Amino acid sequence: MNNKEIVAKAIFEVVKEDLSLETVTQLLENPKSVDHGDVAFPAFSLAKVYRKAPQQIAADLAEKIAGTDFEKIEVVGPYLNFFMNKKMVSQAVIGQIAKEKGHYGDSSIGGKGNVPIDMSSPNIAKPISMGHLRSTVIGNSIAFILEKIGYTPIRINHLGDWGTQFGKLIVGYKKWGSEEAVKTAPITELLRLYVQFHEEAETQPELEEEARAWFKKLEEGDVEATELWQWFRTESLKEFDKIYSMLEVSFDSYNGEAFYNDKMDEIVTMLEEKHLLQENQGAEIVDLSAYELNPALIKKSDGATLYITRDLAAAVYRKRNYDFAKSIYVVGNEQSNHFKQLKAVLNELGFDWSKDMHHVPFGLITQGGKKLSTRKGKIVLLEEVLNEAVELANNQIMEKNPDLPDREEVARQVGIGSVIFHDLKNDRLNNFDFVLEEVVRFEGETGPYVQYTHARAMSILRKANFTIDETKEYALDDKESWEVVKLLQKFPDIVLQAAEKYEPSVIAKHAIQVAQAFNKYYAHVKILAEDEQKESRLALVYAMATIIKEDLRLLGLHAPNEM
Ligand code: ARG
């Protein structure tokens, strides 16, 4: 039980006749300062019921509330300030964590329901952008968070493996490319061909026509075109997989846009049967003015299908194949309109499950305040960024702890982790600037700082030769430990909040708070002093380390035991 629940129950016992437990719970407040206790109840809400002055009501209540749950109940004007019994709460929280370990905060709310998560989804023959990185790490974390509350996440990489760009690539490859160059550095070479295509097409517009013709061949299943397409896809995926393995993210499906090529006719037929398709200058559209949205373009005048047509087929496929409880799309904010249209068209088709689809948008990563673009070939190569982060982490570990066993692996966990943490610590809709040196710092609100705090806690436990005993009772009542205990107690609620908002930053912020509270504790309290509370203090260190590690796991980071 959390503190609010304990207080609500105690008040409810007294006011049962007049207020419901729910109403009491809703009225409770978090005091602004610790001097005002842990939970506050404003009594003026009862003035009407009791026809008394709020101050009097508060005083009466304070007298009637019994039990050992509170150290004291203070009446301040119309407010009742509850000070929790620290011993009882800390004993319950530490005890529960000792028993449940990493499973503290688990729940079965999701009822094992399937949740496909559309994430990462880069485009073949182009580098993975910072935006795709965000989608990858946010999606991966949401998958862990939903899994913790009982859902079954399904990570889907909806690859951008279809579209007119393949016509351009084939033309570029045939004119200026070589097999060897593609094999050596697939993405770099394919990007070079793509960029060259655009440069040359500025003076030779007939290239565009050639590209269209090749794409048409591809759509018709021409052998040469299909083989080239397949090859570009395989080579690109090999490169993407390097990054996924660095991030330790894996997918349950790589069904990309091309997978839906033979599944769109059915959608178009459904739209026709429901008389939803309208002709507009030769193109087929669905009018969405009822939703205050632009019309959805389903088929171009040359019969080519579009991004949204494939997403319609994908949504229907996911419902049939996974019978999802909800379906999530982790895609940049700039595509918000697309996902509104997608849901609206599905709703028009009578699919009431479209309400279970959620677009989870996020902001941009910028450099020097500017958006990063791939069009002109100016790109930040993610692999290089990750490698550099590992190197920076390694340098810092060399300085602090040159004899660390397993240093390379720890540097990898810290370096990669720092990039992931930096991405996840801010509300996902915020834009943020990327400066690698800041990201990998061991101080401040960074991944390495949180990991370092965990490692420090583990080192204290090692030094003390401590092992937790679930049958023992550990309790603390000093105000330094109380700050840590409260944060640990909150963890299950934090997980629920993160899941409800699809917001990993809620977890990251909690991890930072726990780390800060613990470091303060460490600075003020002699943990290893030989007195009768030593075991309890160590148990708190154990509980803290367990929760930080779980916070980090939910974000997709390791928590090394030493660093
Ligand atoms: N490939 C797309 C892009 O890079 C993202 C795809 C997102 N997923 C989807 N189902 N539309 O912009």
pLDDT tens digits along 381-413: 788 889 999 999 999 999 999 999 999 999 999
- What is the three-class DSSP state of 66? coil
C-beta contacts of 50-53 below 8 A and 24+ residues apart = 50/18
Residues present in the chain in total: 563
Q: Does 329 sit in the ligand 1 pocket, CB within 6 Å?
A: yes
Q: Cα(158) to centroid of ligand 1, in Å? A: 7
Q: Tell me: pLDDT of 378 over 90.
A: no
Our answer on whether the CB atom of 158 is closer than 6 Å to any ligand 1 atom is yes
Smallest CA-to-CA distance from 311 within 291, 331, 281 is with 331
Distance 256 CA to ligand 1 centre (A): 9
331 CB near ligand 1 (under 6 Å): yes
pLDDT at 163: 87
How far does residue 475's CA lie from ligand 1's centre (Å)? 51
Ligand 1 centre to CA of 133 (Å) is: 12
Q: Is 481 in the pocket of ligand 1 (CB under 6 A)?
A: no
Q: If pLDDT is split at 50, 70 and 90, which confidence band does 375 have?
A: very low
CATH topology of domain 382-426+435-555: Isoleucyl-tRNA Synthetase; Domain 1 (1.10.730)
Distance, in Å, from the CA atom of 120 to the CA atom of 247, rounded to the nearest integer, reads 12
The verdict on the CB of residue 311 being under 6 Å from ligand 1 is yes
**Spatial separation of the C-alpha atoms in residues 174 and 179, rounded to whole Å:** 10
Contact by Cβ (8 Å): 285, 277 = yes
Contact 190, 236 (CB under 8 A): yes
User: Mean pLDDT across the stretch 72-97?
Assistant: 95
**Among 117, 119, 121, which residue has the most ligand 1 atoms within 8 Å of its CB, making it the best to mutate?**
121
How far apart, in whole angstroms, are the C-alpha atoms of residue 86 and residue 74?
16
Helix 407-424, helix 534-555: angle, nearest 10 = 70
Say whether pLDDT at 503 is over 90: yes
Ligand 1, atom 3, lies closest to the CA of 122
Structure confidence at residue 435 (pLDDT): 86
Give the 3-state secondary structure of residue 483. helix
Beta pairing partners, 299 = 284, 305
Which listed CATH number (1.20.1250.20, 3.20.20.60, 3.30.70.1230, 3.30.1360.70) goes with 3-84?
3.30.1360.70
Task: Check if the beta carbon of residue 318 is closer than 8 Å to that of residue 113.
Answer: no
Confidence at 380, pLDDT banded by 50, 70, 90: low
Instruction: With residue 81 as reference, give the H or E element that holds it.
Output: strand 79-84
Q: Could you tell me if the CB of 41 is within 6 A of ligand 1?
A: no
pTM: 0.94
Task: State phi, psi for 53 to the nearest 5 degrees.
Answer: -70, 140
Tens of pLDDT, residues 120-176: 999 998 888 889 999 999 999 999 999 999 999 999 999 999 988 899 999 999 999
Taking residues 425-433, what's their average pLDDT? 93
What is the predicted pLDDT for the residue at 137?
98
Rounded distance from Cα 48 to ligand 1 centre (Å): 56
pLDDT at 86 over 70: yes
Residue nearest to atom 5 of ligand 1 (CA): 121
Give the closest residue (by CA) to ligand 1 atom 4: 122
Separation CA 483–CA 485 (nearest Å): 6
Distance 519 CA to ligand 1 centre (A): 42
What's the Cα-to-Cα distance from 315 to each of 116, 308, 354, rounded to whole Å? 10, 10, 9
pLDDT of residue 379: 55
Q: Vertex 558, ends 555 and 563: CA angle to 5°? A: 135
Q: Which residue has the tokens 């390495």?
A: 448
Residue 120 token pair: 């990462």
Q: What is the pLDDT of residues 521-552, one digit of tens each?
A: 999 999 999 999 999 999 999 999 999 999 99
User: Rounded CA gap, 554 and 499, in Å?
Assistant: 11
Residue 192 has pLDDT above 80, yes or no: yes
- Residues 6 or more apart whose Cβ sits within 8 Å of residue 32: none
Quote the CA–CA distance of 89 and 57 in Å, as a whole number. Answer: 27
In this predicted structure, the answer to whether residue 56 has a pLDDT above a threshold of 60 is: yes
Tell how far the Cα of 159 is from the centroid of ligand 1, in angstroms: 7
Spans of all domains in the chain: 3-84, 382-426+435-555
Which residues, at least 6 apart from 452, have a Cβ–Cβ distance to it below 8 Å? 442, 563
Kindly report, residue by residue over 225-278, the tens digit of the pLDDT. Answer: 999 999 999 999 999 999 999 999 999 999 999 999 999 999 999 999 999 999
Helix (H) or strand (E) holding 154: strand 152-156
Distance in angstroms (rounded) separating the CA atoms of residues 218 and 124:
15
Average pLDDT estimate for 4-31: 93
324, 331, 334, 338: residue to mutate for ligand 1 pocket, most atoms within 8 A of CB = 331
Closest atom of ligand 1 relative to the 160 alpha carbon: 1
Sign of the Cα torsion 337, 340, 341, 342 reads positive
Ligand 1: distance of its center to the CA of 309 in Å?
13
- Which letter does DSSP use for residue 57 in this model? H
Please report which confidence band the pLDDT of residue 377 belongs to, taking 50, 70 and 90 as the band edges.
very low
With cut-offs at 50, 70 and 90, classify the pLDDT of residue 373. Answer: low
ipTM for the predicted complex comes to 0.99
* Cα(331) to centroid(ligand 1), Å: 7
